[in-house]
Each structure stands twice: as C-alpha cells, then as structure tokens.
Amino acid sequence: MMADAYDVAVIGGGIVGLAHAWMAARRQLKVLLLERSPAACGASVRNFGMIWPVGQPAGELYNVALRSRELWLELGAQHVLDVKTCGSIHLAHATDELAVLEEFAALGQYQVQMLTAAETQRRSGLVNGDRLLGGLWSDTELRVDPRTTSARIAAWLRKTSQVDLHFNTHVVAADKGRVQTSDGRTWRAEKIIVCSGSDLQSLHPAVFATSGLKLCKLQMLRSTSQAQDATAPPHLASGLTLRHYNSFRGCSSLRSLQQRIAAEAPELDRYGIHVMASQFANGEVVLGDSHEYDTDISPFDRTEIDDLMLRECRKVFSLNDWTIRERWHGIYAKHPELPVFEATTAGGTEIFVGPGGAGMTMSFGLADRAWQQWT
Ligand SMILES: Cc1cc2nc3c(=O)[nH]c(=O)nc-3n(C[C@H](O)[C@H](O)[C@H](O)COP(=O)(O)OP(=O)(O)OC[C@H]3O[C@@H](n4cnc5c(N)ncnc54)[C@H](O)[C@@H]3O)c2cc1C
C-alpha cells in the first residue's frame, strides 16, 4: 500500500533525526519521521543532558554549538521543555590542571573566567574542596533532561508542525525517494535523511563501511537524591576532562597533564575515563563517563570501570550520599575528524550520522547548517 508523499522523510527519532525534522518543518516542509522503537531509547536518552559549547574548538564548530544553544533556548522559551542556563565549571585539583585552565582562559576565545577555590565552592555545593586550587567558569552551558527531551520535542513537532511521526516503525530500505518498513508499508519523499545513530548495519551499510565511523560505549551512573539546589547548579568537569575535549588541545600545558595521568593512572587512559557531574531538579546527580571503542565493546558493563569512575568522582565531587541508584551504558557513532558524517547515496538519500559525544550540543546547529546548504 502506498501512503502519502512527503517533502522529507527522516529515519531515526533520536536528537539528530528530531533536529532535521525541526529544521525542515521550520522551512514549511511536510515531514515524516520514522522511529523503530516505541520512543527514542538510544544515546539521546542516555546522556548527561549537557549542552556543552565550551568543549568545541574555537572557530566554526564553536559557532555551530552556539547556534545550537540558541535553538535549545528557543525550545525553552516556547515551553517545549525545561532548559537550564546552568553554565559549567572545570575544576583544578592539581597545579598542572590549573595551568591548562589559566592558559585556556588567557586565549580569550571563550566566554570564560577563572575562579578561586572559594569562588568555585560558592558556585556549587557539589565541589570537593580538598586540594581544590580553582576553577574555570563558562557561561554557555545548558542542562536539559535527556530522558524526556526527545519525547517532548517529538510531541511538540507533531502538535505544531507538519510532522507526521510513526514509532514502532522499522525502516528496512530508504533510497531513490522511497521508504519501506519491515511490516511492508512504503512512503515516498522528495528528500530522505538517515539519522540511524549507532546502527550502521540496517540502512546503506556499504556507505558506513567506508565512512571511518567508529562505535563508542560509555558507562554512566546516577546517584540518589542529594540536597536540592533550586538555583540550576553548574555542570562540573574534572581536571581529567581536559584530556577529553578538543577545545583544550591548543594549550601547550596540556601535555604534562596527559603525561602525569598516563604515568600515575594508565587504567584511566585504557578505559577513556574522565569524570563529569550534572545535577537534576530532583537532586539526583548523573556521573560518568568512560569510552570503549569498536571491538572492545561488550554487551556487559564492567564493574571495574564503575569503580574507577567513582574513585575519581570522590576526589573532585562532594556528594552527601554516594549510593548509586542506576547504572547504564550508551553507544554512539563517532568520526575521528568530522563533527558528523554526511554523505549522499547514489539514490539521493542523505546520511547524517555520528556526532559522537557532542550530539546534544551540536545536532541542532549542524542540522541548521545542512539545511541552509540544501535550500
Ligand atoms: C552516555 C552518553 C553520554 C553523552 N553525553 C552527552 C552530553 O552530555 N552532551 C552531548 O552533547 N552529547 C552527549 N552524548 C552524545 C549524544 O547523546 C549523541 O551524540 C546523540 O544522542 C546521538 O543522537 P542520534 O540521534 O544520532 O542517535 P540515537 O539517539 O541513538 O538515535 C538514533 C535512532 O535511530 C533509530 N533507528 C536506527 N535505525 C533505524 C531504522 N532502520 N528504522 C527506524 N529507526 C531507526 C534508533 O532506534 C534510535 O532511536 C552522550 C552520549 C552517551 C552515549
């Protein structure tokens, strides 16, 4: 049976698919979005909910992140979801960490300022003051609740725009303007966009096979409720995090920090561990994370990784109850160089997959940029 024809069909109801559906709907296009699960349940619901522009390298990608930020704030202003302008603090508990933060702040490319140890503790009750030397405040970070965000955006698009959403709808073919599902339904669309997250097998596997995309697994923890803070406490990142984000790569002082960690705690490099904390309105704190790639990815989570993350968290964060209420992992696709992998198949389908660890931060801005080029 051939159903309606659409201007755009988007495959995947995670944040990337939703970003494309929204950007197409903003251009008055008639959009179909197909998601195989009853609700998004991939990386887009398993993350910290950190919109994190300060992690992007200065220049074009930082600007894309700031454009994303504007779009998140627009969703907040339209009461689609609660968007907290919480900011962030990178903590320094060692002199080499402080050196990187000071060098980074001196570059003058970001909306940041150095804080003393006392100022840092005044801004967040979750900071461990032992051996604290200071922090780097950044204005630009936002917090959303990833567990509800995708569903809320989907419901809002369905209500306010020309977006038809079908869940429990597994797409098995998407090319040459035609989409087919596992239960035999088909649709036609002028433009098809595949946003299949970490599924690099179901649609256009030959394109993915040469894409350079790698899968990455992250383990995460959620604490029991802490003393609540009604003031939207900032996200916290540890000194270990300076090894993780590209924005710090230009700091010459980073090298000695990397060397110290490699010598003192090689297990952290082995599992790609750095620690961050985000406190939600109910007082629970999401803690993470680790990074295991491709063939190292097991369906089973390693207790050793959770224990290492908690060891590092206790050094830099202060929780009044360290009981862990939930543990889970998420998997995303990541390109070693590109902010997202984009390709067009011979049949005209757009592939838009793999914003890596920055999909919540970048997807709106990247989709907006793509649609400016396409229209
Ligand atoms: C633990 C963790 C923490 C993270 N923290 C952050 C953070 O704080 N800030 C940040 O910016 N980023 C963060 N990220 C990264 C971010 O979550 C991802 O980059 C982003 O969610 C990827 O979105 P996506 O839509 O590509 O993938 P997904 O959310 O996985 O969505 C893809 C969807 O496509 C559907 N699908 C696939 N194939 C088909 C098909 N054939 N038919 C129908 N549907 C299909 C899947 O069911 C899925 O729902 C984190 C990631 C993880 C795993």
How do residues 180-219 score in pLDDT, each as one tens digit?
999 999 999 999 999 999 999 999 999 999 999 999 999 9
* pLDDT tops 80 at residue 228: no
- Within 6 Å (CB) of ligand 1, which residues are found? 11-17, 34-37, 40, 42-44, 46-50, 52, 170-171, 195-199, 202-203, 218, 220, 288-289, 330, 332, 355-361
324-334 and 214-223 beta bridge pairing? antiparallel
Among 36, 340, 364, residue to substitute to test ligand 1 (most atoms within 8 Å of Cβ)? 36
Query: Which residues lie closer than 8 Å to 225 by C-beta, 6 or more apart?
Result: 282, 283, 284, 321
* Structure confidence by residue, pLDDT tens digits, 137-185: 999 999 999 999 999 999 999 999 889 999 999 999 999 999 999 999 9
Please, are residues 22 and 367 in contact by the beta-carbon 8 Å criterion? Answer: yes
Atom of ligand 1 at shortest distance to CA of 48? 8
pLDDT, residue 232, reads: 86
* Mean pLDDT score of the chain: 96
- At 343 the three-state DSSP class reads strand
According to DSSP, residue 293 is labeled: E
* Structure confidence by residue, pLDDT tens digits, 50-107: 999 999 999 999 999 999 999 999 999 999 999 999 999 999 999 999 999 999 999 9
* Structure confidence by residue, pLDDT tens digits, 334-354: 999 999 999 999 999 999 999
Please, are residues 121 and 129 in contact by the beta-carbon 8 Å criterion? Answer: yes
Which residue is closest in CA terms to ligand 1's atom 2? Answer: 47
How many whole angstroms separate alpha carbon 33 and alpha carbon 51? 24
**Domains in the chain: ranges and CATH:** 2-45+147-211+337-374 (3.50.50.60), 88-139+214-334 (3.30.9.10)
Atom of ligand 1 at shortest distance to CA of 356? 19
How many whole angstroms separate alpha carbon 251 and alpha carbon 21? 38
pLDDT, residue 162, reads: 83
**Prior bond of 289 cis (ω within 30°):** yes
How many whole angstroms separate alpha carbon 250 and alpha carbon 231? 33
pLDDT, residue 243, reads: 94
Whole-prediction pTM: 0.97
Atom of ligand 1 at shortest distance to CA of 150? 29
Which residue is closest in CA terms to ligand 1's atom 4? Answer: 47
171-175 and 178-181 beta bridge pairing? antiparallel
How many whole angstroms separate alpha carbon 351 and alpha carbon 161? 23
What average pLDDT does the segment 12-32 reach?
Answer: 98
* Banded pLDDT at 1 (limits 50, 70, 90): very low
What average pLDDT does the segment 230-250 reach?
Answer: 92
